[in-house]
């Protein structure tokens, strides 16, 4: 190897060391940021959307043992006069289990008031199919 070739390799190695140091610093910074900054939960985002964007009242769900066991949380609101429980699961399988628990306890009389979309289960208050605008309001604030 000639002297110019060795010099090129020295610069190439130095460049690799610098790039490696930058990658390590970037990954380290990302890990620190992730440890320090908590992302809002789906429940928090949903509540914020319903309050600030849709101007709806939001309350905790009381007296519903099925909603209480949802790992993502639950909230209650009222859309165009129709109350709704928003029950948020951590997975689609959990959401299916929650919906099935509602069906098992209330049977056919809850069927038209119960809806599952992804990880979210909606339980409407009135014994009729919710209107498209009521549903759309809730879908607009779905973060799970």
Judgement on whether residues 65 and 92 belong to the same structural domain of the protein:
yes
Same domain, yes or no, for 56 and 13?
A: no
6 and 26 assigned to the same domain: yes
Note the pLDDT of residue 99: 95
Q: What would you report as the CA-atom Rg of the chain, rounded to the nearest whole angstrom?
A: 25
Q: Which residue bears the tokens 């605008």?
A: 133
Q: Specify the number of domains making up the chain.
A: 2
Q: How far apart are CA 74 and CA 89, in angstroms?
A: 9
**C-alpha span between 117 and 92 (Å, rounded):** 9
18 and 82 housed in the same domain? no
CB atoms within 10 A of CB 67: 23
Q: Same domain, yes or no, for 48 and 118?
A: yes
14 and 85 assigned to the same domain: no
Three-state DSSP class for 74?
strand
Partners of 85 in the β-ladder: 76, 123
Confidence of residue 86 (pLDDT cuts 50, 70, 90): very high
pLDDT in tens, 90-99: 999 999 999 9
Confidence of residue 47 (pLDDT cuts 50, 70, 90): very high
Q: Supply the range of the domain harboring residue 48.
A: 42-140
What average pLDDT score do residues 110-126 get?
91
21 and 47 fall within a common domain:
no
Tokens 């140091």 sit on residue? 21
**Interatomic CA distance for residues 98 and 66, integer angstroms:** 7
Backbone angles phi and psi of 122, in degrees to 5: -105, 130
């Amino acid at each position: 190897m000639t002297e110019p070739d060795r010099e090129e390799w020295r610069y190439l190695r130095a460049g690799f060391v610098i790039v490696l140091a930058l990658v390590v610093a970037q990954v380290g910074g990302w890990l620190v940021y992730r440890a320090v900054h908590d992302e809002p939960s789906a429940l928090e985002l949903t509540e914020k959307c319903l309050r600030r964007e849709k101007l709806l009242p939001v309350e905790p769900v009381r007296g519903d043992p099925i909603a209480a066991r949802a790992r993502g949380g639950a909230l209650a609101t009222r859309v165009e006069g129709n109350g709704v429980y928003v029950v948020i699961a951590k997975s689609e399988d959990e959401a299916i289990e929650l919906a099935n628990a509602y069906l098992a306890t209330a049977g056919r009389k809850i069927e038209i008031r119960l809806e599952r979309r992804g990880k979210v289960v909606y339980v409407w208050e009135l014994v009729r199919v919710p209107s498209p605008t009521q549903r759309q309001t809730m879908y607009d604030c779905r973060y799970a």
